[in-house]
Structure 1
Amino acid sequence: MISSPGALLDPRHEVVPFHGRTAELAGLARWRDAAVLRSVLLLHGRSGVGKTRLARRFAGDDLVVVDDADLAPWHDVLALLRDGPTRVLLVARAAGWWWSATRQRAADLHYASEDLELGPCPEEHDRVFAIACERFADALDLPRPDVAPPRCDTFHDVHLAALAAVHGDRSDNAVEHVRRVVSVDPDPPTTGRLAEDALAVTLLDDRIAPAPDALDTLLRAAERWPHVRDRAVELFTADPGLVAKAGAGQLRVLKDHPEVVARQVFDDPRCHGDVLPALLTHALLRDAEDLRERAELNGLLSARAALAALREEAVRASREEVSLRRRLVDHDPVEHRPALADALGDLSLRLVAAKRAEEALFVAEEAVAWCRLVTADDRDGAAQLAAALDRLGLRYAAVGRKEDAATAVAESAELFDELARQHPASFRLDAAKTAHHLAARLFEVGRRAEAGHATRRAVLQWRAVAADDPRYEAEFAGTLRSVAALLAAFGRPTEAAAVVRESIGVLRRLAEVNPRDFEPVLASVLGDLGVLFRRLDRRSEAAQAFEDAVAVWRRVPRAADRLARAWHLLADSAVTNEVARAGARMALLLWQLTGCHDGVRYAETLSLYARRCAEVGTDLDHALAAAHRAVELLRSARAEPERLARAEHAVQEVVRAHPARTRDLPSSP
Structure 2
Amino acid sequence: MATAPLPGLDDGQARRALTVLGRAAVRHPVAARAVTTLLALDIDRMLPLGMEVASQLENPRVFARTLLDGLQAHDDGDTVRLVLDHLPDESAALADLAVLASELTLRNAEQHASLNPAATARLLLRYTYHLKSSGRRREGLRAAEEAAGLFEQLAVDSRQTHLPDLGRALHGFAVMLDETGERGRGLDTIRRAVEVRKELCERSDVYLPELALSLDVLGADLAERGHRAEGLAAGQEAVRIFEGLAADRPVLYEAQLATALGNLALQWERFGNPGEACAVSARCVDVLRRLSDQNPDAHLLKYAEALNHHASALARADRRAEALAPVVEAVELLRVLVETDPG
Q: Which residue does the alignment assign to 1:285?
A: 110
Q: Does 1:499 align with 2:326?
A: yes
- Return the offset for 1:338: 2.0
Distance in 2 between the 1:475 and 1:496 partners? 18
- 1:316/1:432 CA distance change after superposition, 3 Å: closer
Are residue 263 (structure 1) and residue 89 (structure 2) matched?
A: no
SS in structure 2 opposite 1:462? helix
Aligned length: 266
Could you tell me whether the CA contact under 8 Å between 1:396 and 1:405 is conserved in 2?
A: yes
Distance in 2, matches of 1:270 and 1:386, equals 25
Indicate whether 1:450 and 2:273 are aligned: no
| Aligned mates of 1:355, 1:515 — CA distance in 2 | 27
Q: CA deviation at 1:273?
A: 8.3
CA contact (8 A) 1:285 1:297 kept: no
Q: Is the 8 A contact 2:265 2:278 kept in 1?
A: yes
User: What SS class does the counterpart of residue 192 from structure 2 fall into?
Assistant: helix
1:365 to partner: Cα distance: 0.9
Shifted more, 353-362 versus 317-326: the winner is 317-326
C-alpha distance in 2 between matches for 1:436 and 1:271: 27
Q: Counterpart in 2 of 1:348?
A: 174
CA offset digits 1:391-439 (Å, max 9, x no partner): 1122223333333322221111111112222333332332233222211
Show the 5 A alignment for 1:315-464: 315-464=141-290
Are the structure 2 counterparts of residues 324 and 492 from structure 1 closer, same or farther at C-alpha, using a change threshold of 3 Å? same
- How far is 1:327 from its partner? 3.4
Instruction: Note closer, same or farther for the CA distance 1:341–1:493 as it changes in structure 2 (3 Å cut).
Output: same
**Pair 1:476-2:303 in alignment:** yes
AA of the residue aligned to 1:499: P
Q: 1:261, CA displacement in angstroms?
A: 10
With the length of structure 2 as denominator, give the TM-score of the two structures.
0.63
Tell me which residue corresponds to 1:516: 339
Match of 1:487 among 294, 314, 321: 314
- Is the contact made by 1:413 and 1:434 (CA closer than 8 Å) also made in structure 2? yes
C-alpha contact 2:106 2:123 (8 A) present in aligned 1: yes
The one-letter code matched in structure 1 to 2:323 is A
- C-alpha distance in 2, partners of 1:515/1:310? 21
RMSD across aligned C-alpha pairs, in angstroms? 4.0
Write the mapping of 1:87-102 to structure 2, written as runs, cut at 5 A.
none
> 1:582-621: per-residue Cα shift (whole Å, max 9, x none)?
xxxxxxxxxxxxxxxxxxxxxxxxxxxxxxxxxxxxxxxx
Contact conserved, 2:102 with 2:126, CA < 8 A, in 1?
no
Residues 435 and 455 of structure 1 are in contact (CA less than 8 Å); yes or no, is this contact kept in structure 2?
yes
Query: TM-score when scaled to structure 1?
Result: 0.35
Tell me the amino acid that sits aligned with residue 356 of structure 1. E
Cα 1:279–1:313 shift into 2, 3 Å: farther
1:112-151 equivalences in 2 (<5 Å): none
CA contact (8 A) 2:81 2:105 kept: no
- Do the aligned partners of 1:325 and 1:340 also contact (CA within 8 Å) in 2? yes
**Following TM superposition, by how much is the alpha carbon of 1:389 offset from its aligned partner in structure 2, in angstroms?**
0.9
Q: Distance in 1 between matches of 2:328 and 2:78?
A: 50
Q: Kindly state the Cα deviation for residue 341 of structure 1 after the two structures are TM-superposed.
A: 0.9
Whole-Å Cα distance in 1 between the matches of residues 172 and 95 of structure 2?
Answer: 25
Distance 1:342 1:515, change over 3 A: closer
What do residues 361-414 of structure 1 show as CA deviations (whole Å, max 9, x unaligned)?
110111111111111211121111111111112222333333332222111111
Is the 8 Å Cα contact of residues 281 and 300 (structure 1) preserved in structure 2? Answer: no
Deviations 1:610-650 (A, max 9, x none): xxxxxxxxxxxxxxxxxxxxxxxxxxxxxxxxxxxxxxxxx
Q: Matched residues, percent identical?
A: 22
Amino acid at match of 2:106: T
Deviation at 1:501, TM superposition (A): 4.6
Amino acid aligned to 1:477 = A
**3-state secondary structure, aligned to 1:446:** coil
Residue correspondence of structure 1 range 187-266 to structure 2 within 5 A: 244=69, 263=80
Distance 2:311 2:220 in 1: 20
Task: Check 1:475–1:244 CA distance in 2 against 1; reply closer, same or farther (3 A cut).
Answer: closer
Partners in 1 of 2:292 and 2:104 — Cα distance?
39
Q: Tell me, which stretches of 5 or more residues in structure 1 are unaligned?
A: 1-242, 252-257, 521-557, 559-669
> Deviations 1:126-152 (Å, cap 9, x if unpaired)?
xxxxxxxxxxxxxxxxxxxxxxxxxxx
Distance 1:345 1:459 in 2: 26
- Give, in whole Å, the separation in 1 of the partners of 2:135 and 2:296: 31
Q: Which runs of 5+ in 2 are unaligned?
A: 1-67, 88-93
User: Are the structure 2 counterparts of residues 310 and 502 from structure 1 closer, same or farther at C-alpha, using a change threshold of 3 Å?
Assistant: closer
1:468-526 deviations in Å (ceiling 9; x for gaps): 6666455433321221123324543223123335546x849x95xx89328x9xxxxxx
Q: Which has the larger radius of gyration?
A: 1
Contact 2:124/2:143, CA 8 A, preserved across alignment: yes
Query: What aligned pairs does 1:527-606 form with structure 2 within 5 A after superposition?
Result: none
